[in-house]
Amino acid sequence: MSSANVYVFETPQDLAEAAAKAFAQKATRSIRENGRFAVALAGGSTPKALYELLAARYRNALEWSGIHVFFGDERTVPPDHEDSNYRRAYEALLSRVSAGSVHRMRGELDPREAAVLYEKELTAFFNGPPRFDLVLLGVGEDGHTASLFPHTPALDVNDRWAVENPVQKLGTTRLTLTIPSINAAQKVTFLVAGEGKAEALKEILEGDVHPYDYPAKLVRPAAEPDWFVDRAAASLLGRL
Ligand code: 6PG
């Protein structure tokens, strides 16, 4: 992926500041042009600073009633569980703004049922296949993104928009958008911080590894993804 748009920031906070500004620009433009902004939030811990900044700095600057919030993935836990991606986003952002709509993956349900329900919610909102204005993604040290983990069944799924995905190495099942859902997005932005991600980032951006070993390589939307990374995560990239 030599043509990737890689933006390197000194610190995770600088990364969050830039990501918040980019989010606000995209949301403002999309609401102005299309009357709405549909975004899928990333899970994990990296986006926390971004979500907190959006709540603190952009609460009044954005027309939140035009912003419709989805999730890239979810753990199979209730929404009040400490591992819930919804709970993390709710505490950092959604409890502090009034989004037009929030579409939670129902981690408390049977995973197969939750995935089917989410697909119904996606196709009802988009009146057809999902086409997010923005999908935010993180990357794991093993190269996973959303809950698309290396060599898991969801990597082969091309006829669904959201699925349950058994992740043997975690001993759990996750809920996740599929590659077709993510690749149909207008824009995908990866947020990657910390030295622990450096090897995965190098393999994803510069390696000739198999995408099933580093599933983030499967993310190939029409518009080149933006990679917002900090200096530590970028430390093994050849261009630096
Ligand atoms: C999740 C995420 C996952 C995450 C990466 C990075 O539910 O965990 O969706 O894909 O983005 O694991 O997580 P960190 O930001 O915590 O490193």
pLDDT of residue 101: 98
pLDDT of residue 239: 55
Query: Would you say residue 33 lies in a domain?
Result: yes
Q: Please give the chain's pLDDT, 240 residues, in tens.
A: 456 799 999 999 999 999 999 999 999 999 999 999 999 999 999 999 999 999 999 999 999 999 999 999 999 999 999 999 999 999 999 999 999 999 999 999 999 999 999 999 999 999 999 999 999 999 999 999 999 999 999 999 999 999 999 999 999 999 999 999 999 999 999 999 999 999 999 999 999 999 999 999 999 999 999 999 999 999 999 854
Of the residues 51, 52, 73, which should be mutated to test ligand 1's pocket, given the most ligand atoms within 8 Å of the CB?
A: 73
Pocket of ligand 1 (CB under 6 A): 42-46, 72-73, 85, 138-140, 144-147
105: domain CATH number is 3.40.50.1360
Total number of domains in the chain? 1
pLDDT of residue 1: 45
Query: Would you say residue 201 lies in a domain?
Result: no
Ligand 1 centroid–CA 136 distance in Å is: 11
Q: Which domain holds residue 24?
A: 5-195+210-230
pLDDT of residue 4: 77
Consecutive H or E run containing 190 = strand 188-192
Give the atom of ligand 1 at the shortest distance from the alpha carbon of 72.
Answer: 9
Strand order across the beta sheet in which 73-75 lies: 73-75, 172-177, 162-167
Consecutive H or E run containing 167 = strand 162-167
Report the largest interatomic distance among the alpha carbons of the chain, rounded to a whole angstrom: 46
In sign, the C-alpha dihedral spanning 185, 9, 195, 70 is negative
Query: Would you say residue 236 lies in a domain?
Result: no
Query: Would you say residue 238 lies in a domain?
Result: no
Ligand 1 centroid–CA 34 distance in Å is: 30
Query: Would you say residue 204 lies in a domain?
Result: no
pLDDT of residue 240: 46
Global pTM?
Answer: 0.97
